[in-house]
Structure 1
């Protein structure tokens, strides 16, 4: 029934039907393009959870438009009988399976991504050592923008066998850590208190979220980790820089030398 069923299914296709289907596809493509361009611009004017929710709606809207387009186009081209649908979709699936195996793999992973939502637009993720904010999620790949403003395209198929770290997971809470190494000869308790006060003094700190300062003895010296949440995840680089500068100023005022791990390693060599 294979070839015969496909020929029967395609026999009803006319030039008028092709033009009508093409018009529907073009209209759907323009609608998707408008949403993809307009929503990020609107989201950039917002902050917090409204921005993340608005960005996350883009891939879901695109998937909805694609599904509706298929539902509308197929009956235009093919008489919607059970035999015709089986023949068309069976042949299409077989062709895609052989011709676009890798693409199909990423496409299926993209659908899984939209369902499981391991990352969304606005999330800060790290994949294969690449860290950045998810700018958009396509059917085949996601785009992230690094802190150095570099755009990286990540195929969804990497989800199958790659560890993924998500810093804020759909929220506007992103913990940042500023590390400083100090010479061991100092009052640890006093430095812990001063560093904690410095975090609260930073205007970028989200003070209603946990603030924590930890210390550990390392080969490089006493390692202090200043942990806190910035007001906006996009402010993380400026936030960490500010905390580091405040810690350095405290060390200067207290007469406690800061040390550099690479410098100590070079000294030992």
Structure 2
């Protein structure tokens, strides 16, 4: 005859913990905490002294190793608290999961999404991503949430739960380089081939350019003039804003030096009025 859950909880599910058992649990918990702290301090410290793909691979290992430590500590602690029989484990863990599922539905959803994020890797430490309109570098992928540092140096915590409902734009996807875009708006009357060549030279001579990546200048005709978009890659993703600023400042200066007129506010106003 099957025992009820009340009978299980009142008889032989939980083991009697003596002083030695409590010490074992405390040591396991302390060791796991210490390993996680050392992991989260040492690997980012080492990664910041590396460059390129090795830095991103090392940073991406942090959440995976932390999850392994947490699961390992849990597996070591459970047999010391519960009599390790199949019936006991099913009854206790099933009841615990059901209670947590109702009480912490959103939190549990973020935890599950965090595990999925570790496996599918839509973002990793060191990636530049945009989630729900927030753009920044992933600095920490936790069990429940990730932390972004925005270009304005704001730390933003985003729950993994948004993985289910929000699109995630990853600019570099584990790569040390990402594409930067600099826009130039030129008045209608000009030599397009010359402007395009000038902007290609500006990108090619930048101190931040990754020479083994393509440089593309896209030309789009608009009612008010012509828009040129320079697409190129900096050596390191963290240089993206300095690189884009360098392209914009040097490109504008070079166009003005050659007597090429830029699109002006009156031209835009006339277009809107027409």
TM-score, length-scaled by structure 1? 0.94
Relative to structure 2, which stretch is displaced further, 21-30 or 251-260? 251-260
The question of whether the paired residues in 2 share the 8 Å contact of 1:18 and 1:77 is answered with no
Residue 172 in 1 paired to residue 176 in 2? yes
Partner of 2:136: 132
Aligned with residue 96 of structure 1, among 82, 100, 106: 100
- 1:81 aligns to 2:85 (yes or no): yes
- 2:205 matches 1:232: no
Matching residue within 14, 23, 26 for 1:22: 26
Aligned-residue CA RMSD (Å): 1.8
Task: Determine whether 1:4 maps to 2:7.
Answer: yes
Deviation at 1:25, TM superposition (A): 1.1
Shift of 1:21: 1.1
Which residue pairs with 1:148 in the alignment?
152
Task: Select 1:211's aligned residue among 203, 206, 215.
Answer: 215
Distance 1:229 1:78, change over 3 A: same
Quick one: distance in 1 between partners of 2:270 and 2:38?
A: 55
Unaligned runs of 5+ in 1: none
Distance 2:243 2:86 in 1: 60
C-alpha distance in structure 2 between counterparts of 1:21 and 1:87, whole Å? 22
Q: Distance in 1 between matches of 2:70 and 2:182?
A: 44
Cα distance, 1:247 vs structure 2: 0.9
Alignment partner of 1:245 is 2:249: yes
Distance 1:263 1:128, change over 3 A: farther
Assess, with a 3 A threshold, how the Cα gap between structure 1 residues 266 and 89 changes in structure 2: closer, same or farther.
farther
Is the counterpart of residue 106 in structure 1 residue 103 in structure 2?
Answer: no
1:23-81: per-residue Cα shift (whole Å, max 9, x none)?
A: 21121012101111221121111110010001000001001001110111111112211
Equivalent position of 2:60 in the other structure: 56
Q: In the alignment, which residue of structure 2 is the partner of 1:256? A: 260
Partner of 2:74: 70
Q: Which runs of 5+ in 2 are unaligned?
A: none
Distance 2:227 2:265 in 1: 10
